[in-house]
Amino acid sequence: MNQILESNLDLNYSPKYNTNIIAKKFKIILFSAISLILFFLILYFLLKYNSYKKEKISKNLASNFNIQNLYYNTSNYSATKTSSSTLEAETFEPFVIGLLKISKIDLMYPILSTVSNELLELSPCRFYGPMPNEIGNLCIAGHNYINQKHFGKLSSLNTGDTIEIYDLNSNKIEYVIYKKLEVNADDVSCMSQDTNGAREVTLITCNSIKGTRIVIKAKENR
């Protein structure tokens, strides 16, 4: 009987040895967790800083929007293009074509003349239609950022709210929202230019979760 018991005993078993293994595993897990947390913190602050830089460029463009002096009554003027990576100036015809202001959601951004991925990261862009405050349906696209910058607060608007557009001729026109809708990404009916000779503005942003588009339509307040 004693022989059987002795044969089943692990003569090399050591509680201290087993504790050392557990301690090493714990250290590895702890180090991995800390490394992962640091990685995500660094990534978060890098994204935050990048967003801050682009927002600063956009706000600088808006603050330098001198309606009386910067613009002329012609579409052949030259303006300054601000690069998202550097602040080097180059000729771009035209670049900033107006100013979009929505007091309810504390929004004020320059309207950029054309649309591209790079420009959309700076500010809302003219996506389709006429120049600001001209007859027709001015369609403006903007990113729906999770930090509520650009068009991130667009869903908070309702019918009856107002939008202000400053144009190249020193004019400010107020538009009243008459429709708020959500459409499929391939639905372009909101960009129709059939306005019966009226001035309209359409704001478009994406709903990245559902893959749809949030659309705000407004007409001149007369």
Beta strands in 62-135 (DSSP E): 79-82, 89-92, 96-102, 107-112, 125-128
Per the confidence metrics, is the pTM higher than 0.75?
no
Per residue of the chain (222 residues), give pLDDT as tens: 444 444 454 555 555 556 777 777 777 887 777 877 877 777 666 656 565 655 665 565 555 544 333 333 333 333 333 333 333 444 444 588 999 999 999 999 999 988 888 888 889 999 999 999 999 999 999 988 888 888 999 999 999 999 999 998 879 999 999 999 999 988 999 999 999 999 999 999 987 677 889 999 999 998
Per-residue confidence (pLDDT) for residue 73, from 0 to 100? 39
Instruction: Say if residues 191 and 213 touch (Cβ distance below 8 Å).
Output: no
Q: Give the model's pLDDT for residue 200.
A: 97
Structure tokens at 169: 């001729």
Burial of 34 (0-12, 13-18, 19+ CB in 10 A): exposed
Which alpha helices (DSSP H) does the chain contain, by range? 2-7, 15-63, 67-70, 117-120
